[in-house]
């Protein structure tokens, strides 16, 4: 695949490519997140924790934790009796997360581990809450990632997952397309300079092309249900740019 070609969500060599992307962008990931989400990310995260309910004392797993924002929020909500684990496949992202810890005065312990969401080195039925933000687009097998979330959750507990989506409304969809295809690459090139990664597209082109063929809405709910989750629901945020999935592992 040439550097200027759009890759779509799945392609050969994706695992190495994705790791290289996040390795490259780790130092400016937080700043770009704020710019790209037009400051909405905090609202999406607040909603996720509203859906998670009272998590005081919980053992929480943040899958694809990146620079740790959801893990830190989990620690604040879980309090001194809580425990939070942030797992990510890219060590450079976890290094950025660890750098933030000393300034945060977190009430709960947060442990960061390098690991693959498709094959997590945790036992079954371990966590009171699994949380994940914007990771599923990046994996080579979405069903296996959701199956793994299910496996490590205690029966009766929730998974709360945020992911990008596409708006349904035609007009909003048009605006979203312009934003993703023009504005995101424009801002991205300020940072990634349009540099092809691993023989493929530049880092911020991935943000756009990872949405191509990526399941969202009911299609994603089907994946959660296939994993065994019940009461799976999705909430449309920012006019459809983001979906938040909430699903329960039955007792």
Ligand X SMILES: C[S@@+](CC[C@H](N)C(=O)[O-])C[C@H]1O[C@@H](n2cnc3c(N)ncnc32)[C@H](O)[C@@H]1O
Residue whose CB is nearest to ligand X in the complex, by number: 66
* Nearest distance, CB of residue 251 and ligand X, angstroms: 28
CB-nearer residue toward ligand X: 2 or 118: 118
> Under the rule (CB under 6 A), what is the footprint of ligand X?
18, 22, 33, 64-66, 69-70, 87-90, 93, 116-118, 133-135, 138-139
CA atoms within 13 A on the CB side of 130: 34
Query: What DSSP element (H or E) covers 224?
Result: helix 218-227
How far is the C-alpha of 159 from the C-alpha of 235, rounded, in Å? 14
How far is the C-alpha of 222 from the C-alpha of 90, rounded, in Å? 28
CB-nearer residue toward ligand X: 10 or 33: 33
CB-nearer residue toward ligand X: 71 or 221: 71
CB-nearer residue toward ligand X: 134 or 191: 134
* Nearest distance, CB of residue 156 and ligand X, angstroms: 24
* Nearest distance, CB of residue 113 and ligand X, angstroms: 10
How far is the C-alpha of 159 from the C-alpha of 75, rounded, in Å? 16
* Nearest distance, CB of residue 171 and ligand X, angstroms: 27
CB-nearer residue toward ligand X: 31 or 195: 31
Helical pair 91-100 and 14-25, crossing angle rounded to 10 deg: 30
CA 2 centroid distance within chain? 27
How far is the C-alpha of 70 from the C-alpha of 76, rounded, in Å? 10
* Nearest distance, CB of residue 165 and ligand X, angstroms: 14
Phi then psi for residue 84, to 5 deg, are -125, 135
């Amino acid at each position: 695949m040439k550097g200027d070609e759009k890759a779509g969500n799945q392609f050969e060599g994706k695992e190495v490519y994705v790791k290289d992307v996040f390795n490259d962008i780790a130092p400016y990931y937080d700043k770009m997140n704020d710019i790209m989400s037009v400051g909405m990310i905090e609202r999406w995260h607040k909603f996720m924790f509203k859906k998670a309910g009272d998590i005081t004392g919980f053992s929480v797993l943040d899958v694809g934790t990146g620079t740790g924002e959801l893990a830190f929020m989990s620690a604040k909500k879980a309090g001194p009796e809580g425990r939070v684990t942030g797992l990510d496949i890219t060590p450079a992202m976890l290094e950025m997360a660890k750098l933030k810890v000393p300034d945060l005065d977190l009430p709960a312990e947060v442990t960061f581990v390098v690991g693959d969401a498709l094959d997590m080195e945790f036992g079954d039925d371990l966590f009171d809450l699994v949380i994940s933000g914007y990771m599923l687009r990046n994996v080579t097998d979405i069903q296996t990632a959701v199956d793994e979330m299910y496996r490590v959750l205690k029966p009766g507990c929730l998974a709360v997952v945020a992911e990008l989506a596409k708006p349904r409304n035609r007009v909003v969809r048009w605006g979203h397309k312009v934003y993703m295809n023009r504005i995101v690459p424009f801002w991205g090139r300020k940072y990634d300079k349009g540099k092809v990664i691993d023989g493929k597209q530049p880092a911020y082109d991935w943000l756009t092309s990872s949405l191509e063929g990526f399941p969202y809405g009911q299609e994603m709910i089907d994946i959660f249900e296939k994993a065994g989750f019940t009461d799976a629901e999705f909430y449309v945020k920012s006019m459809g740019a983001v979906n938040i999935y909430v699903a329960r592992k039955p007792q």
